[in-house]
């Protein structure tokens, strides 16, 4: 007796494109992005976005190479497993920037945890980002006032590269920039 062939009954990018509202699609499973983030979440996102933007601008002013850009949600990031909307992304490869969002692995993703998304961000999205080859994943925990930077190692597995308390400097993009954690 043979076993039936496993077929994932999940949704496709074509399904996802037809939906109203904000959704993520990871390995055929749909994740609703509502309700919208709260005030504290948005305040932290804006502060970190500005800090990253300033740090990237300083590199360019000093003659640094690259075309790195920080972008905030909502922004679609297309990965092999589907489409996600990290809170912040940094993209350095101009070829990955398209009219529909980011095509492929950005250089950095930042997720600011909230009670409704923390479990997904710490498990499903961590695995998704790791398997997509995103070099750095910064997890910000406002309720605990710290952050954790994960960086891909030589085996393409995330390892904890740094822990930072609120307001402490954290080195991103392989240490090319440093920003204060949080707001």
Query: Would the pLDDT of 179 be above 70?
Result: yes
Average the pLDDT over 92-108 and give the result.
96
Q: Where are the beta strands (DSSP E) in the chain?
A: 23-26, 29-32, 69-72, 77-79, 82-84, 88-91, 97-98, 101-103, 108-112, 136-141, 146-152, 158-165, 169-172, 177-180
Query: Would the pLDDT of 150 be above 80?
Result: yes
pTM attached to this predicted model: 0.91
The mean predicted confidence, pLDDT, of the chain is 91
| Domain spans, the chain | 36-180
CATH T-level assignment (fold) for domain 36-180? tt1808, chain A (3.90.1570)
Count of C-beta atoms within a 10 Å radius of residue 154: 6
Q: What percent of the chain has pLDDT over 90?
A: 72
């Amino acid at each position: 007796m043979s076993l039936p062939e496993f077929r994932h009954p999940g949704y496709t990018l074509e399904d996802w494109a037809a939906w109203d509202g904000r959704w993520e699609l990871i390995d055929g499973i749909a994740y609703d992005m509502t309700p919208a983030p709260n005030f504290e979440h948005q305040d932290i996102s804006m502060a970190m976005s500005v800090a990253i933007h300033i740090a990237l601008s300083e590199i360019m002013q000093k003659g640094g190479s690259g075309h790195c850009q920080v972008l905030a949600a909502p922004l679609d990031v297309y990965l092999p497993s589907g489409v996600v909307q990290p809170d912040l992304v940094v993209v350095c490869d101009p070829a990955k920037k398209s009219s529909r969002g980011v095509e492929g692995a950005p250089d950095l993703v930042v997720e600011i945890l909230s009670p409704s998304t923390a479990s997904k961000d710490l498990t499903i999205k961590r695995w998704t980002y790791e398997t997509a080859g995103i070099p750095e994943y910064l997890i910000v925990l406002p309720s605990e006032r710290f952050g954790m930077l994960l960086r891909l190692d030589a085996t393409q597995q995330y390892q904890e590269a740094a822990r930072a308390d609120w307001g402490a400097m954290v080195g991103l993009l392989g240490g090319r920039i440093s920003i204060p954690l949080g707001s």
